Each structure stands twice: as C-alpha cells, then as structure tokens.
Amino acid sequence: SPNVATAQEAQVAVDEHRRHGTTTLVASLVTAPGSKLLASTDILAELADADELAGIHYEGPFISKDHCGAQNPAAIVPPDPALTAELLTRGRGHVKTMT
C-alpha cells in the first residue's frame, strides 16, 4: 500500500519533499481498509502536530467503484458516518479534504 506504515517512513517523505523545495505539504492517503486509514491518520496527525505537515487529505474510501481511477476498487466502501467521525477525531483537526 502506498499509505504510510511508520512515522519514520512518513518523515522520510516529508524530508524528501523539503529537499526538493516543497515548503507546505498536505499528505494524501489513498483508498484503503478503515483500519489502515486510521493507523496512517495517527501517524500523519503526529507529524501535523509537529508542524511537519499542513494537513491530511483522503482519496476515498467512499467513492464510486465505477469511477475510482487509480484507487483500489476492493477497498472502496459505502459512506460510513462512524468511520468518518473516527478519521476526523484521530486527525485532530488536521483533516483538510476527502474526495
């Protein structure tokens, strides 16, 4: 999965962007099972708390399987208010957008 698995992995991505001149970075998470999105959100929220990221963006998982583009159709789920609320809670105010 292209989503982050560890804080160190996420920090490497941030550092690489900075090395190439990025001054502000919103991290994007691709469509994945809820448990993976929650784990990645925890990691990214820590980086955002430390001012390493400007926010978090989700690409899914509540998108159309018929128009999913590069997203994994197997990970697409119907809208889920409980999962959305948990993502927002664990994002600690750093969630900026969800497509």
Tell me: the pLDDT tens digits for 23-35? 999 999 999 999 9
Q: Is 28 helix (H, G, I), strand (E, B) or coil?
A: strand
Query: Within a domain: residue 57?
Result: yes
Query: Within a domain: residue 1?
Result: no
What's the Cα-to-Cα distance from 29 to each of 44, 50, 54, 92, rounded to whole Å? 10, 19, 14, 16
Supply the pLDDT for residue 2: 65
Strand order in the sheet with 55-58: 26-29, 55-58, 95-98
Per-residue pLDDT tens for 49-71? 999 999 999 999 999 999 999 99
Number of domains observed in the structure of the chain: 1
* Residue 15 predicted with pLDDT over 90: yes
Residue 59, domain extent? 7-98
CA 31 – CA 81 distance, rounded (Å): 16
